[in-house]
Amino acid sequence: MSTPLLQTRSASKHFMGLKAVDEVSLAVNKGEVVSIIGPNGAGKTTYFNLLTGQLAPTLGEVSLRGQVINDLAPHQRAKLGMGRTFQIVKPLIALSALENVMVGAFLRHPRHADARDQAMAVLTRVGLGALAKRRAGELTLSERRRLEVARALALDPEIMLLDEVMAGLNQSETGRCIDLLRSLHEELGLTFLIIEHNLKVVRAFSERVVVLDRGRLIAEGTADDILSSPEVVKAYLGEGHQWTPS
């Protein structure tokens, strides 16, 4: 068994008495697409924050390629190959789409012209090439989501962590976004760990699904294993989530 690309051992985050993430052990191998699902407040975003260094774990270990990275800051983890998007989209609204992506591109391309070229290539890749000069504040939700993907991609990551990157998109926008992620997976060999409420997306894109509930990892399996069981979905996700077996 080769060393997992990204791994946690008993990763936990306690906020006062609340165990937001409770001893989650998970390994993501290079080239995999893994989805994390679970009800609101299950600890999904908090778990991402432990992975990318926005939060320090109360207990447990985060490692990248077998190296423990608990003490590394977010920008150091980015340099080691972790890119992420945020659930709350935070573009720099006064800057152009291109400038937003350049912020990420500077990590590996210190020269302005190189960062600009890299950012333009990434914007083109996500289908925003024609909107490079548009201010981020003037983009539609769907375009802002693509911009988020572009900002993460500009870090030239080995693994992408996407936090509900398709939330709020309509069906055709969601379809195009899945196509984009699939192309990044197949053509660039990127590894993905995604938080996703839309089970159609989970089924279409991921090879393995992990269920978090009240901070704990309660089930893990193939998308078909997890999603073909309405009981599992009802018990773990409750009512009101998109559950559209097809």
**Residues contributing to the site for Mg ion (CB under 5 A):** 44-45, 87
Of 7, 8, 12, 45, the one binding ligand ATP by CB under 6 A:
45
Q: Name the residue type at position 27.
A: A
Contact between 40 and ligand ATP by CB under 6 A: the answer reads: yes
Contact between 69 and ligand ATP by CB under 6 A: the answer reads: no
In whole angstroms, the minimum distance from the beta carbon of 45 to Mg ion comes to 3
Question: Which of ligand ATP, Mg ion, none sits in contact with 40, Cβ below 5 to 8 A by type?
Answer: ligand ATP
Question: Which of ligand ATP, Mg ion, none sits in contact with 41, Cβ below 5 to 8 A by type?
Answer: ligand ATP
In whole angstroms, the minimum distance from the beta carbon of 123 to ligand ATP comes to 27
Residue 233 neighbours by CB distance under 10 Å: 19
In whole angstroms, the minimum distance from the beta carbon of 37 to ligand ATP comes to 9
Specify whether the backbone of 135 is left (phi greater than 0), alpha (psi in -120 to 50) or beta.
Answer: beta
Instruction: Specify burial of residue 56 (Cβ count, 10 A radius: 0-12, 13-18, 19+).
Output: exposed
Question: Which of ligand ATP, Mg ion, none sits in contact with 20, Cβ below 5 to 8 A by type?
Answer: ligand ATP
Q: What is the DSSP string of 207-243?
A: SEEEEEETTEEEEEE-HHHHHT-HHHHHHHH-TTS--
Where would I find the beta strands (DSSP E) of the chain?
6-15, 18-28, 33-37, 59-64, 67-68, 82-84, 159-163, 191-195, 208-213, 216-221
Contacts of 26 (CB under 8 A, 6+ apart): 7, 8, 34, 210, 217, 220
Contact between 20 and ligand ATP by CB under 6 A: the answer reads: yes
Residue 189 neighbours by CB distance under 10 Å: 10
Cβ proximity to Mg ion: between 94 and 141 the closer is 141
Contact between 10 and ligand ATP by CB under 6 A: the answer reads: no
Contact between 57 and ligand ATP by CB under 6 A: the answer reads: no
Contact between 8 and ligand ATP by CB under 6 A: the answer reads: no
In whole angstroms, the minimum distance from the beta carbon of 94 to ligand ATP comes to 27
Cβ proximity to ligand ATP: between 143 and 196 the closer is 196
Of 41, 81, 127, 175, the one binding ligand ATP by CB under 6 A:
41
Contact between 77 and ligand ATP by CB under 6 A: the answer reads: no
Q: Please, what sign has the CA dihedral across residues 150, 151, 154, 156?
A: negative
